[in-house]
Amino acid sequence: MSKPHVLLLGSIDHAKKEWEALSEIATLSVADSANREAFIKDLKGKYSDVVAVYRTFSSVSITGRFDEELIKEFPSTFKYICHNGAGYDQIDIAPVTAAGVHVSNCPGTVDDATADVNLFLILGALRNFNKALNLLRRGEWTKGLALSHDPEGKVLGILGMGGIGRALKKRAEAFGMTVQYHNRKQLSEELAAGAKYVSFDELLATSDVLSLNLPLNPHTRHIINKEALAKLKDGAVIVNTARGAVIDEAALVEALESGKIASVGLDVFEKEPKVHPGLIANENVILLPHVGTRTFETQKKMEIQVIDNIRAALTTGKLENIVPEQVNLQ
């Protein structure tokens, strides 16, 4: 009896031994299709018996979005998408689920590294470090540099208090910040760990710093728009390490230029790798090129987590980290 076929979309950089060990129970191959059109053609040929795929964020350049059009082209053997990343907005869950395909992601392993970057951006935005760095490099020292703000005593509003949000809470409290949050569902007392649950509008109106830690989906796209920005405190700070499209960047630029928003820290953008020119030009914005999980330790843990999900799927028929939309399906 032949082994199930597992297809790698992208590359494995740190867990090569763990990947190779999968060959004990599976036939492994690496996608070499040049583009989406070629990939669809290959699904009728050399990938016609694929059972599971290991997909990376960058593999979207090969396959395009995993949407209804693409999922229809997969063979009937196809059962599992094991995604390397916490966010999986490149996968359209509804048609994938309808096709009977289960999806896993990487919750937990990304929490600490992302929360570290999150806190860096909060401190950088509050202290206006971006402008200070630019003045130094121009040889102007602190010329025209206004006084900044301490984190101690500030109210941090976390929109989306999942694993990353909770890891951020612990870090922020060490700096003397008070934490409140909003989710679609209130957390248990144990998970909230003292953070105050508030409505979305109250979060906007009462937070000194708004941190975006929610997944991108049709309900959260542009959740921070012109109307939401108007409800924020004058001089509020916004930090985003989630997905760029949860913010309307054009509206954000307007709010920065008007002074409604004092400063911003961003690790993600609407149209990566492109960044809105109004954000680049504004010295009150501290920017990073989506490096939230870019540490050796975190990247290796994520790769191993994906491989563990594939192994579990092939040996037990169940994913270890099935996405929330599918938790009742296995």
Residues labelled as active-site residues: 243, 272, 290
Question: CA-CA distances (angstroms) from residue 296 to 28, 110, 113, 182, 226?
Answer: 24, 12, 10, 32, 38
For the record, the structure tokens of 97 come out as 């689920």
For residue 156, the cross-strand partners are 179, 209
d(CA 129, CA 260): 19
Lookup: tokens for 235: 């001089």
**What DSSP assignment string belongs to 69-126?**
HHHTTS-TT--EEEEESS--TTB-HHHHHHTT-EEE--TTTTHHHHHHHHHHHHHHHH
The sheet that has 27-30: what strands, in order across it?
Answer: 27-30, 5-9, 50-56, 80-84, 102-104
Sign of CA dihedral 148, 151, 153, 158: positive
User: DSSP assignment, residue 185?
Assistant: S
b or e along 19-50 (b: 16 or more beta carbons within 10 Å of the residue's beta carbon)? Answer: beebeeebebeebebeebeebbebbeeebeeb
Q: Which amino acid is at 210?
A: L
